[in-house]
Structure 1
Amino acid sequence: MTPARHHTRRPTYPLAHAARQKPRRWPLVLRFAKGAVHGIILVPVILHSLFTVLIVYLDRHVTGNLGLPTSIVPSLSIVVGLMLVFRNQTSYDRFWTGRNSLATIGTSVRNLTRSILVSARSKGVNGTPLTDRETADTEKVVRVLVAILYAVKHNLRAEYNIPPASGIAGEGEITTAKAEYYALLPDGLRGFEDQGLGLPLQLTVLVESYIRRGFERSWFHGPQASQMTVQLNNLVDAYGRMETIRTTPLPVAHLIHQKQVLALFNCVLPFATVDDFGWWAVPIVAIVAFTLYGIEGIGVQLEDPFGYDKNDIKMDGIVEDTRQEVMVLLDEWKAAGSGNGAHGGMFD
């Protein structure tokens, strides 16, 4: 009777890295640092407040006649509101599409891993055990599937730094996260990023080649191999959508006009409020500028959701959770193949 294996793993649970792990200490209304856009809107709010101070001072102590009719505010606010709504809807659509595309990639990796490990159990119809070469081939392709997640993440962040074929990452220092990523790549892999070939697409070629070999070994029947290819195509398609988001900014004409209209509205507002509110126009303009520039700042952060900002997609955690799942499946598959798996395991 084979004794049960004792696993030594870090304490974890599904989605442990992607989910928020600690409760909020302060209500969101009192938060001014982590996750907030106050840092990027502070300068324009201060400038508009100082401009309002100047207008009120000139109106009260110099010219005495700088006020404009308040009816000008509603007409301008409609234009500003429409532009900000368009900007935020467009930016959030990019964020949501990026998140769904990453989910599609993770789902494809899960499906392919499941199909590969369940099917790669025997050779042909006679049930011949896998050779060491076939076992290593299967383990390599599962690691490549996980490496695709890392490659997608790094390419979207413009971190093109695949190690050379020797496995040494050049002159730069290798971080722990990068070392885990490099360990997933096949030995001797040569990158072609300097020639315009992205590593994610290059790694999918290795997976497609394995599917063909599995079909020739009778591990996969025709429809199953075809479905696995569909999963791989879905993965590449999802990555293409993420690339489109990353490489297609909003038209510069829209950005310029939005900035100008926003600045114009906040510059006109002091003239429309100085007669009725006097020095109270300063905090009023500051609040309006804080609100409008804050909405615009949110759109700026969501426009490219693949970076390291607090409001970006949690790509590091999502990739780590998927890696943990796949590697546990791979460990169980290897244990079952070596006869060390506990009775009733996944691959019995």
Structure 2
Amino acid sequence: MPALRTSTRRPTYPLAHAARRKPRRIPLVLRFYKGAIHNIILLPVILHCAFAALVVYLNRHVTGSISVPSTIIPSLSIVVGLMLVFRNSTSYDRFWSGRNCLTTIGTCVRNLVRMILVGAHGKEGKMLAEAERRDTEKIVRVLIAVLYAIKHNLRAEFNIPPASLTAEAEDAEPATRPGYMSRRNSIENGLDTAQSEYVSLLPEGLRGYEDQGLGLPLQLTVLVEGYIRRGFERGSFHAPQASQMTVQVNNLVDAYGRMETIRTTPIPVAHLIHQKQVLALYTCILPLAIVDGYKWWAIPTVAIVAFTLYGIEGIGMQLEDPFGYDKNDIKMDGIIEDTRQEVMVLLEEWKMGAQGKSGMFN
């Protein structure tokens, strides 16, 4: 008889994924990958260095002096500095606001889970009915799924679960039709581990309506609101408590709406165009202003200036949309994983109490 496999819980601690710190093997000043923006600015730096080399060559061997008065540099420096400061401050404000909204959503989920699990218990020492236990467990999993739905929605990863029109088309297609099962298997196999865990949290048979314009996070909050109503009707929550839970759902939807605003409202294109043009103009005029005094040293000087200015702009570009997969984006995966582990531990403890065993909810 084969030996039974015992599952061991992976060691963890609160905020293990969101606040994990690895020892830095290389000082940050020497790092040119993993979080650096050098790949974004490499091309413009090379192009400006090439232009500076051309200016120096023409100035020394072809046309004579082609320099311009160096007094133009301070005037342009003020404009470039102001535009870069505005861009970076605006981008970081979007990053910080997005992080605060994610914290608000996580706090609302924690509060709702806490109130649901404490309120869902048998009356007068009686065990909770099986249907009520299943309903409570389902809605707690839905609350975790809301976090994943928000993350995927902000990253434009839709059709998890299959959209309603796609699902209807699949239901209408006979299973014996050639290629039917192969298509379904390709959909299932296409889900990675993280997405499979997310799908396992959703109610069985749930169909999304994203193909009709309804975001899955809002659809899931309708399920949560319905549970609050059912809990009030069966006496799990009194009226003020049910009202407070509804407020938590409203706060969650409001925070998600603000994250959507960040995601769908880019920096105005007029500002981006003018900033690019002013930055390129400044870096192109710089070698003309310093070529007489610096000669060939004008090339590394332009490289340093271009590296500095385009680097600041590159940071602003990455922070502008903080919900993606870049190293500098918000650690949404880790934050959501920490919240999932917290809630699942609470759910397991509640299930033990519902079965009459000792636990924190007894």
TM-score by length of structure 1 reads 0.94
Match of 2:300 among 270, 283, 301: 283
Q: Structure 2: where are the runs of 5+ without partners? A: 1-5, 171-180
Q: How far did 1:337 drift?
A: 1.2
Q: How far did 1:121 drift?
A: 1.1
Q: How far did 1:127 drift?
A: 4.3
Q: In the alignment, what sits opposite 2:48?
A: 48
Q: In the alignment, what sits opposite 1:347?
A: 361
Equivalent-residue separation in structure 1 for 2:75 and 2:191 (angstroms): 57
Residue range with higher mean Cα deviation, 171-180 or 296-305: 171-180
- Give the letter for the 1:88 counterpart: N
| Cα deviation 1:64-123 (Å, max 9, x = unaligned) | 111111111000000000000000001000000000000100000000000000111124
- Give the letter for the 1:158 counterpart: A
Equivalent-residue separation in structure 1 for 2:341 and 2:68 (angstroms): 63
Equivalent-residue separation in structure 1 for 2:313 and 2:194 (angstroms): 34
- Give the letter for the 1:34 counterpart: K
Q: How far did 1:163 drift?
A: 2.5
Q: In the alignment, what sits opposite 2:221?
A: 204
Q: In the alignment, what sits opposite 2:173?
A: none
Q: How far did 1:9 drift?
A: 1.4
Q: In the alignment, what sits opposite 1:36?
A: 36
Equivalent-residue separation in structure 2 for 1:50 and 1:297 (angstroms): 20
Structure 2 SS opposite 1:310 = coil
Q: Moved runs in structure 1, 4+ residues, more than 4 A?
A: none
CA contact (8 A) 2:146 2:217 kept: yes
Q: In the alignment, what sits opposite 1:120?
A: 120
| Cα deviation 1:209-254 (Å, max 9, x = unaligned) | 0001111111111111101100110000000000001111111111
Equivalent-residue separation in structure 2 for 1:101 and 1:91 (angstroms): 15
- Give the letter for the 1:317 counterpart: G
| Cα deviation 1:159-197 (Å, max 9, x = unaligned) | 00223479x994332211111000000011121111000
Equivalent residue runs for 1:178-257 within 5 Å: 178-257=195-274
Considering only aligned residues, what root-mean-square deviation do their CA atoms show, in Å?
A: 1.7
Instruction: State the identity %.
Output: 75
- Residue 161 of structure 2 corresponds to residue 152 of structure 1: no
Equivalent-residue separation in structure 2 for 1:21 and 1:77 (angstroms): 38
- Give the letter for the 1:221 counterpart: H
Q: How far did 1:278 drift?
A: 0.7
Equivalent-residue separation in structure 1 for 2:360 and 2:336 (angstroms): 23
TM-score by length of structure 2 reads 0.91
Structure 1 SS opposite 2:92 = helix
CA contact (8 A) 2:94 2:321 kept: yes
Q: How far did 1:19 drift?
A: 1.6
C-alpha change, 1:229 and 1:7, in structure 2 (3 Å) is farther
Q: In the alignment, what sits opposite 2:81?
A: 81
Q: Structure 1: where are the runs of 5+ without partners? A: 1-5
